[in-house]
Structure 1
Amino acid sequence: MEYIKTRAELRGAFDVTHEVAKRKVLRFLDGHTRNFIEKCPFLLIGSQDASGNGDVSPKGDFPGFVKILDEKTLAIPDRPGNNRLDTWENIIENPGVGLIFMIPGMNETLRINGQARLTLDKTLCSQMQVNNRPAKAVLIVKILEVYMHCAKAFIRSKLWSPDTWAPRADMPTLGQILKDHADLSETASEFDEILDEAYRNSLW
């Protein structure tokens, strides 16, 4: 198998970029993009460490959980998790991030590229509390690019169409998967109970 090695080779294999795709990129939030973020309950954060090793991490909470500090700055709260801290460690080494914001049922997404830093500022963490539990930390993102992304991927995948979803019973539980991946001493059902307890009591 041969691989593409140059930008010229890549561009030669595709049509010219549509003019709207070039012109749609903003450098700040406007009314439309603010409205999208305020209604968004879920996003993905792409990051890389200093060696270029990539990671994508999901973040989700109540709609509007991402705080707009100003037209070029976002604050994203961190909630209790598994403490791997892959994204946060990457950002310490390499501040470049890519964000994709998703609203259930909406096929278009909002994309933001920027530079990020992590803070433990007590005032900001407290402002982003849920159920009187402050954010563990807050990611501050300085916006470099912001633009809407078209619906083709969601239309192709029929992501929001329940009639296309595989039955949940066709897939093993996370406890069953981790039993094999992590060589757990617990049974699959025991670890599923541990996960269920964590979901009930430590989302925030």
Structure 2
Amino acid sequence: MPTAADAYTPITMARIREIIGFPDQFIAEKKEPQLGEFAMRFIAHSPFFCAATSGADGLMDVSPKGDPPGSVRILDPWTLAIPDRPGNKLADTFENVTATSSIGLVFFVPGLREVIRVNGDAFVTDDPELLSMLSADSKPAVLATVVRVREVFGQCGKAVIRAKLWEGDTRGLAEAATLGGDFYTLSIAEQAQKINNSLGDLVNGGLYDVVDENYRTELF
């Protein structure tokens, strides 16, 4: 199906380099094959990160992950263990990891502009001892993703600065995005016919309460 993207012409990497140039040597060489002391401390204090994975069909997925600081366990300088908590059961990340094993992580610490990025290979395990180690709120993790670290590097804070990410919602963006409504009611409105078959009356106002109750009772 034709889309707006068809109006534009892709360019080569050579052309991209012609426009943006090349990084300074110290930036090009900053990637390390293992976690250093600072990267380990940063990850240990990160309550939020994003995980990018690729499926067998090449389709990418990026999933937000949040937990109390320290929930991502550093098993050694080459290995991370990520807990899985109750969620929507789509399992996109698990589907991709079991198909290709590739994973990319970006760790954030509130108040800091810079981030730590980790790339590597991953697999999923149900090892009871590891799941217990990854407990939160006295509940073991549902599953664990073990990451074999291949690359670690810090990234400058320009993206966070431009986004004013840690400055709070002083611009009223949440209100503007939801038009004063709730996220779930609005996000399913465009799929009402399909979703109505499975949710029924919840589409007409009760869904927010159901989701909010789930947040309160099934966070861990």
The alignment's TM-score, normalised by the length of structure 1, stands at 0.94
- Identical-residue share of aligned pairs (%): 36
Q: Which amino acid aligns with 2:211?
A: L
Which residue is equivalent to 1:193?
209
2:83 matches 1:74: no
Mark the CA change 1:134 to 1:118 in structure 2 (over 3 Å): closer, same or farther. same
C-alpha displacement of 1:98:
0.7
Alignment partner of 1:145: what SS?
strand
Equivalent residue in structure 2 for 1:20, among 26, 41, 46: 26
Q: What residue in structure 1 maps to residue 10 of structure 2?
A: 3
The counterpart of 2:121, out of the listed 99, 115, 121, is 115
Unaligned runs of 5+ in 1: none
Q: 1:163 to 1:174 in 2, by over 3 A?
A: closer
Q: Higher mean Cα deviation, 9-18 or 153-162?
A: 9-18
Q: Where does residue 137 of structure 2 map in the other structure?
A: 131
Partner Cα separation in structure 2 for residue 25 and residue 63 of structure 1: 24
Shift of 1:7: 2.6
Q: Distance in 2 between matches of 1:182 and 1:92?
A: 30
1:146 is displaced (CA, Å) by: 0.3
- Distance apart, 1:8 and its partner CA: 2.1
Q: 1:91 aligns with which of 91, 97, 104?
A: 97
TM-score after normalising by structure 2:
0.87
Structure 2 partner of 1:40: 46
Q: What does the per-residue CA deviation read over 1:61-113, in whole Å, with 9 as the maximum and x for residues that have no partner?
A: 10111000000000000000000000110011111111000011111000000
- 1:147 equivalenced with 2:149 (yes/no): no
2:184 to 141, 153, 175: 175
1:101 aligns with 2:117: no
| Matched ranges for 1:154-173 at <5 A | 154-162=160-168, 164-166=170-172, 168-170=174-176, 171=178, 172-173=181-182
CA contact (8 A) 1:102 1:110 kept: yes
| Root mean square deviation of aligned Cα | 1.5
SS in structure 2 at match of 1:77: strand
